[in-house]
Amino acid sequence: MPELVYPPVVIASKALFRILDLRLSVTGAEHVPRTGGAVLASNHVSYLDFIFCGYGAQPAKRLVRFMAKKSIFDHRIAGPLMRGMSHIPVDRAAGAESYDQALAALRSGEVVGVFPEATISRSFTVKGLKNGAARLAAAAGVPLIPVSLWGTQRLWTKGRPRTLNRRHVPVSIDLGEPLHPTENDSAEDVTAVLRERMTALLDAAQRSYPDQPADSSDSWWQPAYLGGSAPTPEEAAELDARRPEGG
Per-residue tens of pLDDT for the chain, all 247 residues: 689 999 999 999 999 999 999 999 999 999 999 999 999 999 999 999 999 999 999 999 999 999 999 999 999 999 999 999 999 999 877 789 999 999 999 999 999 999 999 999 999 999 999 999 999 999 999 999 999 999 999 999 999 999 999 999 999 999 999 999 999 999 999 999 999 999 999 999 999 999 999 999 999 999 999 999 999 999 999 999 987 666 6
Coil, strand or helix at 88 = strand
Phi-psi region of 6 (alpha: psi -120 to 50; beta: other; left: phi over 0): alpha
> Is residue 125 in some structural domain?
yes
> Is residue 237 in some structural domain?
yes
Distance CA(62)–CA(41), nearest Å, equals: 15
Predicted local confidence at residue 243, as pLDDT = 76
Q: What is the CATH number of the domain that holds 95?
A: 3.40.1130
Predicted local confidence at residue 244, as pLDDT = 64
> Is residue 226 in some structural domain?
yes
Predicted local confidence at residue 112, as pLDDT = 98
> Is residue 1 in some structural domain?
no
> Is residue 92 in some structural domain?
yes
Asked whether the whole model's pTM tops 0.75, one would answer yes
> Is residue 247 in some structural domain?
no
> Is residue 57 in some structural domain?
yes
> Is residue 149 in some structural domain?
yes
Question: Shortest CA distance to 187 belongs to which of 242, 116, 125, 134?
Answer: 134
Predicted local confidence at residue 16, as pLDDT = 93
How many independent structural domains does the chain possess?
Answer: 1
Predicted local confidence at residue 245, as pLDDT = 61
Predicted local confidence at residue 169, as pLDDT = 98
Q: Which domain holds residue 20?
A: 6-242
